[in-house]
Amino acid sequence: MNDETREASLAFAAPLVALTLGHVLSNMVRTLPAIAADVLGRDLEVTAQGLASLTGTYNLTFALAQIPVGVALDRFGVRHTALGLLAVTAAGAVLAALAGGALGFLIAQLVLGLGCSGMLMCPVTYAAKRLSPARFGLWSGLVQALGNCGMLLSASPLALLVEAEGWRAGYWSAAVFGLLALLLVALLVREGPAAGSTRSLAADAREVLRLTVSPKLRGIVVLAFASFAAVIGVRGLWGGPWLMEVKGLPRVEAGNILLLATSAVVIGPALWGIVDRRIGHRRALLILGHLGAGLALCLTAMGAPGGPFGLLPPSWDAATLLGFFLLITVQPLAFAATRAAVPPDQAGKALAGVNLSFFAGAAVLQAASGAVVSAAGIAAGLIFLAAAVAACTLGYAALTRPGTMPR
């Protein structure tokens, strides 16, 4: 690599990494409740279903914000959008740390959902507007891999922090992280003037919705509805209670298992990106990965007391949850397929439309899983999430055809 190529690579990678720190923060705050669910519920005086509803508002606000985020990315540019969202996220983390009850925590979740709504879209759009569709598949996987490190931070590290200082300390640390990310984006991300738009904001918003329901994206949108919902349902809410309440593990040991299992969300996206680039067959990879993830989650649930295999040791949970996360991380290929389906000037809107489905599904299915868990237990909640993934994957398969997905 000559000096000019090296400088060009650094000029692209450094801003991308700075923007991706926002995605790290987003994953950190959305999954923190899983490792602190017991103390959160006690301090906020809410049941498990109530906590699911409170944290589900994060996903609802996140989903509703996708339309304005998509418009802002194409109209005002990545840098300005990222700086505004990071400031809102840091403020939301402070509100969560100061929450005195369920209402205060609800408001904090709403603010966090709004702030985090573009944390993945910012680096992904930055890359989409600078790379060919073929190269974008790999880079989008790398963005997801780095961003998913936030789930590692909310496993053992935050479990130790919560055990020592309480759940509020986790949100204070998130606020500090957000301010550091904001500073790096301000220093490293440089863009030319935003493309702007001669149309009204309402017209741009309608364009996001039009792209979301268009035939070329419809199948991806259906798949996305359950894909992230399963991840956040396990890692953001029920994974900790499953290991601590059902399997009887102490918090730090549960955090260690979640850390091991969640390591797959760091290496998985990059591996799927490499496989996609080398062998293709993106549609088949998306189908097989999601169906396999649903099966792995069912196997986790079968290790509960009274299950078909009886009470299985923690190593069973570690292995099946690792398989689940490794397989479900095929989901960044949905962004690659989205990028390939539209021209660069529509990338922000199209990606935001698909991300809307990711988080609308998370909001709906997380709330529904809370009702299932209250009625039939956490194992039933895990099976419910697995069934949702299978149903949406079959819907995706029905709405797309081999060889027709753009690359």
Length of the chain as a residue count: 407
- Residue 280, both tokens: 């293709």
* DSSP character string of 78-146: HHHHHHHHHHHHHHHHHHHHH--SHHHHHHHHHHHHHHHTTTTHHHHHHHHTTS-HHHHHHHHHHHHHH
pLDDT at 198: 58
- Residue 7, both tokens: 């400088």
* DSSP character string of 317-369: HHHHHHHHHHHHTTTHHHHHHHHHHS-GGGHHHHHHHHHHHHHHHHHHHHHHH
pLDDT at 194: 55
The one-character DSSP state at 286 is H
What is the CB-side half-sphere exposure of residue 367 using CA atoms within 13 A? Answer: 12
Rounded to 10 degrees, what is the CA torsion of 338, 341, 345, 348?
A: -10
Task: Return the domain boundaries, the chain.
Answer: 9-188+201-399
pLDDT at 137: 65
- Which residues, other chains included, contact 349 with Cβ-Cβ below 8 Å and sequence gap of 6+? 70, 71, 73, 74, 204, 207, 208, 211, 342
pLDDT at 382: 93
Distance CA 395, CA 13 (A): 36
pLDDT at 4: 41
Burial class (CB in 10 A: 0-12, 13-18, 19+), 393: buried
- Which residues, other chains included, contact 305 with Cβ-Cβ below 8 Å and sequence gap of 6+? 246, 311
For residue 300, give the amino acid letter.
Answer: T
- Which residues, other chains included, contact 279 with Cβ-Cβ below 8 Å and sequence gap of 6+? none
Q: Are 23 and 123 in contact (CB under 8 A)?
A: yes
pLDDT tens-place values along the chain, 407 residues long = 444 444 447 777 889 889 999 999 988 888 788 778 778 888 888 877 777 778 778 878 887 888 888 788 877 888 999 999 999 999 999 999 998 888 999 999 999 999 998 898 899 888 877 776 667 766 777 787 788 777 777 766 877 888 888 889 889 999 999 999 999 999 998 876 555 555 666 777 777 778 777 888 889 999 999 998 898 888 777 888 888 888 888 877 887 888 888 788 778 887 887 888 888 788 899 999 999 999 999 999 998 887 787 788 888 989 999 999 999 989 888 888 887 777 776 776 787 788 788 878 887 888 888 889 888 899 999 999 999 999 999 999 998 877 554 44
The CATH homologous superfamily for domain 9-188+201-399 is MFS general substrate transporter like domains (1.20.1250.20)
Distance CA 396, CA 390 (A): 10
- Residue 68, both tokens: 């304005």
Say which residue the tokens 């418009």 belong to: 71
* DSSP character string of 193-237: -----SS-HHHHHHHHHHHHHSHHHHHHHHHHHHHHHHHHHIIII
- Residue 169, both tokens: 């300390």
